[in-house]
Amino acid sequence: MKKYFQLFIAFITILTLTIACSSDDNTPDDGDNDGISDIDDNCPSISNPGQEDLDNDGIGDVCDPLVQARRICDDGLAGIFPCNDYDLMAHITLDDLSALAGNDSWGWTDTSTNKEYALMGLDNGTAFIDISDPIKPIYLGKLSTASVNSSWRDVKVYQNYAFIVSEAIEHGMQVFDLTKLRNVASPPQTFTADAHYTGFGSAHNIVINEASGYAYVVGTSRSGLYKGGPLFINIQNPLNPIDEGGYAMDAYSHDAQVVTYMGPDTDYTGKEILIGSNENEIVIVDVSDKANPVNISNISYENVGYTHQGWFTDDQKYFIVGDELDEMDFGFKTRTLVFDFSDLDTPIFKTDYSGPTDAIDHNGYVKGNTFYLANYTAGIRMIDISSISGNTLTEVGYFDTFPFNDGASFNGVWNVYPFFESGNILISDINNGFFIVRKSGS
């Protein structure tokens, strides 16, 4: 009840600020001549003491429509969205994207212009959004699905190209030249793929090692040649993908991370290592020689529900894993598992972390000392891993795009993308669309 009361108060507060801080060209009560009425001094000039101006536009934040759009996290809420230390920069609804559901997301920084772009998977295609001004993102257009609509779509980036797969029947892999986004005259446009690879039909996910120029397609047909294991596709010439085989020894792979290994196990320095999240276990494979991939080791853990996805810490010593069904199957709070991968031949379960809600964990990524977790109905959670060696993980922030409940259901956040240098964080929400958030005060 307290939560809904807070939401009501937030709505009244926003309405009051909107009325108090509205533009007032016909009212002489505009002492600082900034075009914004200063009724009852509710909208003081930036020149007044104590007035912040986070976007440096010369308008005090209390009256700035852009800052109002930003929705500062205040007393646990950013607009209607529960939060802790993260502000809402912008929100684009599914209706705005002409879609019924959202799924995966990724980001691209144009190195020629330094502009940032969001790529969001939808049930009917992939949306491209210019977020170079994160308070005023521009929906540039959509690349439609290659076959039929699907709840599952995944996108990754190599150089200036997006690579898109889906569980839609006979979808294959779409390749899209992202430099087309530099000059979109009349958004939103309907885009076309620049290449369409049909060496497989449907797939659950795609992983790219940008250092090697290889894509690893996972979750293809269990009855196929590689039994749903990863396919190896050379994308060094992005518009001409080349099939270089696959790996079937450990059967179906739901998700993976592939790195050029520079971690503590010197036996594998410089090797291309795949860490597969394979439903009931984690598999470590040396895929340096595509014609002869070699299993290094496998590891499972207690109370397996569905080994879903994992990510290395920056030093490649620890691997952090999410199990998608353990909250539902065993009644856990959100459970995140940590493995010590100091010796790739002998991985060790190290510890687990329990979140504060019943929500299911989905995708998680590491940037520096923070683990960014897409936590379905609990939104995204920011977890400090600076003391991971001592088995201590601590939640330090969150932003909840699904404010209705924090239950164990498949609603809310699908993915989080935290890797932009700007600090902008992308969120794709199944039910509520696209969000940009940012750490408060940044």
Residues 316, 229: Cα–Cα separation, whole Å: 23
Residues 178, 434: Cα–Cα separation, whole Å: 19
pLDDT value of position 251:
79
| Cα torsion 23, 24, 25, 28: sign | negative
**The two structure tokens encoding residue 111:** 């190195």
Residues 434, 4: Cα–Cα separation, whole Å: 23
pLDDT value of position 64:
56
Give per-residue pLDDT as tens, 257-307. Answer: 999 999 999 999 999 999 999 999 999 999 999 999 999 999 999 999 999
Of 136, 169, 176, nearest to 155 by C-alpha is 176
Residues 386, 390: Cα–Cα separation, whole Å: 9
Give per-residue pLDDT as tens, 221-238. Answer: 998 999 999 999 999 999
Contacts with 15 (C-beta within 8 Å, 6 or more apart), sequence order: none
pLDDT value of position 4:
43
Looking at every residue in the chain, the average pLDDT score rounds to: 89
98 φ/ψ angles, rounded to the nearest 5 degrees: 55, 50
Contacts with 122 (C-beta within 8 Å, 6 or more apart), sequence order: 94, 97, 99, 101, 102, 103, 142, 153
Q: Per-residue confidence at 316, pLDDT binned at 50, 70, 90?
A: very high
Give per-residue pLDDT as tens, 149-199. Answer: 999 999 999 999 999 999 999 999 999 999 999 999 999 999 999 999 999
| Cα torsion 290, 291, 297, 299: sign | positive
User: In a 10 Å sphere around its CB, with 0-12 CB exposed, 13-18 middle and 19+ buried, how is residue 3 labelled?
Assistant: middle
Residue 19 pLDDT greater than 50, yes or no: no
For 249-254, what is the mean pLDDT? 90
For 45-68, what is the mean pLDDT? 53
